[in-house]
Structure 1
Amino acid sequence: MRNKKWNNVALAIVMAMVLSSCKVGRFVYYNFADIKDYKKFPSRAVVSNDTKFKFHRTDKGKYPQSLKTDKERVSLEQLLEDNNTVAFLIIKNDTIQYEKYFNGYDQESVIPSFSMAKSITSILIGCAIDDGLIKSVDEPVTNYIPELARNGFEKVSIKHLLQMTSALDFSESYINPFGEAASFYYGRNLKREMFKLELKGEPGKKFEYVSGNTQLLGLVLERALKNKTVTQYFQEKLWTPLQMEYDGSWSIDKKNEGTEKTFCCINARARDFAKIGRLYLNKGNWNGKQLVSEKWVRESTKIDTTEGGVDYYKYQWWLPSTTGDFMAEGILGQYIYVDPSKNIVIVRMGKNNGHVNWSDFFMLLAKYPEK
């Protein structure tokens, strides 16, 4: 009887918590990030036009039919499927040399980017600098978000946000329903949550990967744009010029006058994500038109350990080696990998990471000869 009483008390406490916070309720209901999350949130659309860029195709790409693991030799296709891959593309010399879909997915399936959106947000910051909307990465973020001045952000620059050295006090835990990550992902008032943010140290001293940096970059961009949404700028600067094959979307926190979740949540098809890689493979140039400056592409993806930076991360891009390759990465094993020296783009989308070190795997595949 006593146990039943305490169980009822515990249930009442949990229900009170859930009812007092829609965010916590959504966290409890959805539990964790999922590849179908694009269906859970409101979004703004980006629309393809009549002119669509399509990669050349070949079935003669010389990629290994089988790979040796610790225990046995398995086929490439089996390895991908066994590790919860839903889409895998290898594009070399502008030609799709390998394209496979798994688990009921195909080339028309929408897949959320998760944190690959961070790299795209970085591109848009570069476009805004090119357009004169943002003066410099050295500007303090309070030039655009004066609400943070009371929290001591005058010393935080746009560069600190880009390279994750802002000293932001932010929990990146996705299993804590009361943490900042849950508030940003499941909450319905991103601006309110951003204005609460504080610092835990001096900017420019230490790298720490936290999504709050990229969401602040999104607000910097929004404020710089003034009369456009981030999605509208995305459409103008990238989606239309890249001649995307399909429509896409960017998830927002609420339906009316919502804020884009710039730390995550661009929803698109694998082939269209590959075009982001092709743009950076070609130093920001798309078929003769410079969409973002070559200087920005170079600055975004070079190794730089100054001001607290690390040799494996730059402006929202991961740097898996010292050879000039770079990649966008999302929490469930979403990747756009680019190796300019091999003229290769690899896209991997998954339900989760599986048990593969994907960056090492991409570098291995990049070494194989073309057709």
Structure 2
Amino acid sequence: MKIKKRILSALLLSPFLILGVTVIFLSIRYSPTYVYRLITMNIADVYDYKHFENHKIRGAESANRFISQPKEEYIESLFDDLVTKTGFNGFEEWAIESQTTALIVIQRDTMIYEKYFNGFGRDSYFHSQSMAKSFISFLIGAAIEDDLIKSVDDPITNYIPELLERDPRFHKISIKNLLEMRSGLKYNTGLIPFTNIHAPWHDEAVGYYHPNVRKLLLEKVEISSEPGKDFQYSNYNTSYLGLIIERATDVSVSKYLEQKLWSKIMEYDALFSVDSEKSNFEYYAKPFDCPGD
């Protein structure tokens, strides 16, 4: 009887023991801040900018506005099949339950639909997710135009030479490889065994919650395959592009974006989140927050 009780006690304690060991392992490998963010923030959402330090991007003093000719009934009718298939009673209910924040449709120079949901409005901040990647690509082009970057064919080690000390193969990775997501960088997308849940060392999480992403890029990210061949969606590609822009322009990416685009045409200010106050490295792959325009 005592043996059975001990076995039962061991079985009950095992999950807590495994959890404790995992927390200690992740804290040592990535930092306690990483573990805290992983547990408290979990999945990225539109409010994440509130959990990070942010750099402000100044909008234009005077911005052009689109002509407004609303066609609300027509646009919402395009969603009829989707609303019906998902079991909702109408477009508004679908938008709210799907956690839609804004839907804007622009046809040529005319705004034909603009509506906000779930407490959001035109001047609300929202988490732009991977739309930030498009702005980083734009800034690479701007830096080339400004003669600060020679070409997309440049090896990334022209701008981040210390990578050569860790692995000479970094010299084979070009800016173009990063833009096309064909860099060959190692990107862990593993799941917890026997589940469909991302492992806590999944690089989507590591590159998002780590308090020193710059250190990750310079010291930890590895190469797993030949650059220029296989496509692999990886946020590290965009983070390296951001680091290259920093080095080439000698200003932060948010400041360069403000100079080249935002302060010229955008009506509202925006925010660029950073990994931590100490590291002050901007999240070039995801947390870029801007209000509706």
TM-score range, shorter chain: 0.7 to 0.9
The question of 1:229 aligning with 2:242 is answered: no
Query: How large is the Cα RMSD of the aligned pairs?
Result: 2.4
Could you say which structure has the larger radius of gyration?
2
**Is contact 2:60–2:262 with CA below 8 Å preserved after alignment?**
no
- Cα distance, 1:29 vs structure 2: 1.9
Aligned residues: 269
Separation in structure 2 between the aligned mates of residue 28 and residue 156 of structure 1, nearest angstrom = 34
- Cα distance, 1:63 vs structure 2: 2.3
**Is contact 1:168–1:197 with CA below 8 Å preserved after alignment?**
yes
User: Could you tell me the percent identity over the aligned residues?
Assistant: 38
Separation in structure 1 between the aligned mates of residue 42 and residue 25 of structure 2, nearest angstrom = 15
The question of 1:268 aligning with 2:276 is answered: no
Separation in structure 1 between the aligned mates of residue 18 and residue 151 of structure 2, nearest angstrom = 53
- Cα distance, 1:35 vs structure 2: 1.4
- Say which SS state the counterpart of residue 85 (structure 1) adopts: coil
- Say which SS state the counterpart of residue 256 (structure 2) adopts: helix
* 1:344 alignment counterpart: none
The one-letter amino acid paired with 1:267 is D
Q: Which residue among 37, 44, 48 is the counterpart of 1:33? A: 44
Cα deviation 1:297-342 (Å, max 9, x = unaligned): xxxxxxxxxxxxxxxxxxxxxxxxxxxxxxxxxxxxxxxxxxxxxx
Greater relative CO, 1 or 2 (CA 8 Å, sep 6+): 2
**Is contact 1:17–1:24 with CA below 8 Å preserved after alignment?**
no
**Is contact 1:19–1:25 with CA below 8 Å preserved after alignment?**
no
More strand by share: 1
Once the two structures are superposed, the pairs formed by residues 54-93 of structure 1 within 5 Å of their partners are: 54-60=65-71, 63-66=74-77, 67-69=80-82, 71=85, 75-93=90-108
Cα deviation 1:198-253 (Å, max 9, x = unaligned): 11111111111111111111111111012x111110110011111x2222110111
* 1:207 alignment counterpart: 231
Separation in structure 2 between the aligned mates of residue 183 and residue 176 of structure 1, nearest angstrom = 10
The question of 1:161 aligning with 2:174 is answered: no
The one-letter amino acid paired with 2:229 is K
**Is contact 1:164–1:213 with CA below 8 Å preserved after alignment?**
yes
Range 57-66 or range 158-167, more displaced: 57-66
The one-letter amino acid paired with 1:163 is E
Task: State the TM-score, normalizing by the size of structure 1.
Answer: 0.67
Separation in structure 2 between the aligned mates of residue 142 and residue 247 of structure 1, nearest angstrom = 33
Range 171-180 or range 118-127, more displaced: 171-180
- Cα distance, 1:126 vs structure 2: 0.5
The question of 1:16 aligning with 2:24 is answered: yes
Cα deviation 1:95-153 (Å, max 9, x = unaligned): 21111111111112110111110111000111000000000000000001112213221
Unaligned 5+ segments in structure 2 are 191-196
Once the two structures are superposed, the pairs formed by residues 100-249 of structure 1 within 5 Å of their partners are: 100-149=115-164, 150-151=166-167, 152-172=169-189, 175-195=198-218, 196-226=220-250, 228-242=251-265, 244-249=266-271
- Say which SS state the counterpart of residue 272 (structure 2) adopts: strand
Once the two structures are superposed, the pairs formed by residues 335-354 of structure 1 within 5 Å of their partners are: none
Separation in structure 2 between the aligned mates of residue 85 and residue 9 of structure 1, nearest angstrom = 40
- Say which SS state the counterpart of residue 267 (structure 1) adopts: strand
Distance 1:222 1:40, change over 3 A: same
Distance 1:14 1:199, change over 3 A: closer
Task: State the TM-score, normalizing by the size of structure 2.
Answer: 0.83
Cα deviation 1:51-101 (Å, max 9, x = unaligned): 133222123467244323465896544443343211000111322111111
Separation in structure 2 between the aligned mates of residue 10 and residue 138 of structure 1, nearest angstrom = 47
Separation in structure 2 between the aligned mates of residue 160 and residue 19 of structure 1, nearest angstrom = 32
- Say which SS state the counterpart of residue 114 (structure 2) adopts: strand
Separation in structure 1 between the aligned mates of residue 180 and residue 212 of structure 2, nearest angstrom = 25
More helix by share: 2
